[in-house]
Amino acid sequence: MHADGTPPPGSGYGSGRLGVDPEAEVVESVGRLIEFWGFKRALGRVWALLYLAPQPLSAAEIGDKLTMSSGAVSMALNELQLWGTVTRAHKPADRKEYFRAEEDIWKMVTRVLSDRELREVDSACETFQRAEETLKEQSHDAKERAAKEEHSDLDFRRARVGYLRKVATHGRTLLKGLILTSKLDASPLRLLNRKN
Amino acid sequence: MHADGTPPPGSGYGSGRLGVDPEAEVVESVGRLIEFWGFKRALGRVWALLYLAPQPLSAAEIGDKLTMSSGAVSMALNELQLWGTVTRAHKPADRKEYFRAEEDIWKMVTRVLSDRELREVDSACETFQRAEETLKEQSHDAKERAAKEEHSDLDFRRARVGYLRKVATHGRTLLKGLILTSKLDASPLRLLNRKN
DNA sequence: CTATAGTTTCAATAGATATTGAAAGTTTAG
DNA sequence: CTAAACTTTCAATATCTATTGAAACTATAG
């Protein structure tokens, strides 16, 4: 199938507008989405390319199609593998490594949510909690020193930090619920499907 | 109230470990969180500072406390205002502007979710849909041309893009549900509170 | 073993993003 | 009106992040 690197540039297909390569569009779209989600765009592009490939691809092929340097490809593949989103494969009489995409997208999403977002939120919760404690003490002390103004300021802050903590905790609960549900039935979305 | 810019560096409070400024910790924590969420850290820091302030603050005060330049403060405040997270205020006989934080955090979250995340997901959905269409046509054409190999490849891609679209659509639904719920009852978290 | 194909590493560099601060702009008191 | 107080803009610059590509490394065939 067109042996060299030359893809058929719309080689006389029937109806669709020529010059639009759906594969490339999807690759770029996933790239953007993944970047928006806080990863490097390259990760999204590589993963998407693999996800759309009927057969595993070699590093070289990936570099070609996405015009990335060998180094960039290697790094991206490593990072993707760390996140469990890409696996290595070997073809029998071939020295090269081949790569395929993990196909269960929800598994990946869930993984990231628990390994990254949840951690982040947890850490914020802790900070807020600590801060609230400290402010509570300080406010208390100020009261005893009859430092009225200072007391009420500290108390105001304490209350606000308290609300921050509450919101963060709620967010945490929501995240955990999402993760749990999606782990249980691989369709986390049921949450809202009942009647909404 | 300590007139110059010198904050009392743990001026003999009672119990808490000295040298820990809970306000600063919260400010930095929110900064990190907001950066993690795809905004500039400065936005989070400024908003948090205002949120914790019992009284509106002037741009100068903000710059001081966060050691940011006047320009940076001005820009951050503008952007925050665009997102509806900070409002301007004026004290009677004072030429300066003062700023206060929007206090309804869920309102802000909801706003961002619909103005930014939802848009992003929508756009991805559209791309996937278009790509699926095109692939469907191409696959069909290949079949007619009896290009077996090409047909099955295209068909494979079509199926995968279809799944991508499905996932994205689900995500979109989830997002919309979240937004809706939180708009309705200001406590979007109820979703999971029933028994989970 | 050596030669070769393939892969990874990492210092250098390109590129993107954030920040500064002085100049220009705006507002208000007088 | 002008001067003073304050705010905004934006070109210059610093900082952070991603990418390159050649050298080092690894694995295999012969």
Note the pLDDT tens digit of each residue in A137-161.
999 999 999 999 999 999 999 999 9
Which carries the bigger pLDDT value, residue A181 or residue A4? A181
Which residues from B are below 8 Å from A161, CB to CB?
A: 22, 26, 52
Predicted local distance difference test score (pLDDT) of residue B187: 53
Closest nucleotide to B68 by C1' from CA: C19
Q: How far apart are the first and last CA of chain B?
A: 48
Which residues from A are below 8 Å from B135, CB to CB?
A: 22
- Mean pLDDT along residues A79-106: 94
Predicted local distance difference test score (pLDDT) of residue A185: 64
pLDDT tier, A192 (very low <50, low <70, confident <90, very high otherwise): very low
> Who contacts A84 (Cβ-Cβ below 8 Å, separation ≥6)?
A102, A107, A108, A111
Task: Provide the token pair at B172.
Answer: 């979109």
The protein residue nearest D4 (Cα–C1') is B95
Q: How many angstroms separate the CA of A192 from the C1' of C7? A: 46
Q: How many angstroms separate the CA of B165 from the C1' of C17? A: 32
Cα–Cα distance, B47 to B27 (Å, whole number):
8
Scan for tokens 């801060």, then name that residue.
A131
Q: Does any CB of chain A come closer than 8 Å to the CB of residue B191?
A: yes
- Mean pLDDT along residues B154-178: 95
Predicted local distance difference test score (pLDDT) of residue B189: 46
Note the pLDDT tens digit of each residue in B32-90.
999 999 999 999 999 999 999 999 999 999 999 999 999 999 999 999 999 999 999 99
The protein residue nearest D28 (Cα–C1') is A95
CB environment A141-161: b (16+ within 10 A), e (fewer): bbeeeeeeebbebbbbbbebb
Cα–Cα distance, A158 to A164 (Å, whole number):
10
pLDDT tier, B93 (very low <50, low <70, confident <90, very high otherwise): confident
Angle among Cα A163, A168, A170 to the nearest 5 degrees reads: 95
Predicted local distance difference test score (pLDDT) of residue A114: 95
Q: Which of A51, A127, A174 is facing B29, going by the closest CB pair?
A: A127
Residue B102: is its pLDDT beyond 90?
Answer: yes
Q: Which of A157, A187, A196 is facing B23, going by the closest CB pair?
A: A157
The residue of chain B with its CA nearest to that of A139 is B13
Residue A56: is its pLDDT beyond 90?
Answer: yes
Predicted local distance difference test score (pLDDT) of residue B185: 64
Residue B3: is its pLDDT beyond 60?
Answer: no
Note the pLDDT tens digit of each residue in A74-91.
999 999 999 999 999 998
Which residues from A are below 8 Å from B138, CB to CB?
A: 13, 16, 22
Q: Answer positive or negative: Cα dihedral of B109, B24, B31, A75.
A: negative
The residue of chain A with its CA nearest to that of B103 is A160
Residue A68: is its pLDDT beyond 50?
Answer: yes
Cβ of B189 within 8 Å of Cβ of A196? The answer is no
Residue A189: is its pLDDT beyond 70?
Answer: no
Cβ of A191 within 8 Å of Cβ of B174? The answer is yes
Share of chain B above pLDDT 90, in %: 79
- Mean pLDDT along residues A170-174: 93
Angle among Cα A153, B9, B43 to the nearest 5 degrees reads: 60
Cα–Cα distance, B33 to A122 (Å, whole number):
11
Angle among Cα B75, B80, B82 to the nearest 5 degrees reads: 100
Q: How far apart are the first and last CA of chain A?
A: 48
Predicted local distance difference test score (pLDDT) of residue B193: 40
Q: Does any CB of chain A come closer than 8 Å to the CB of residue B30?
A: yes
- Mean pLDDT along residues A185-196: 46
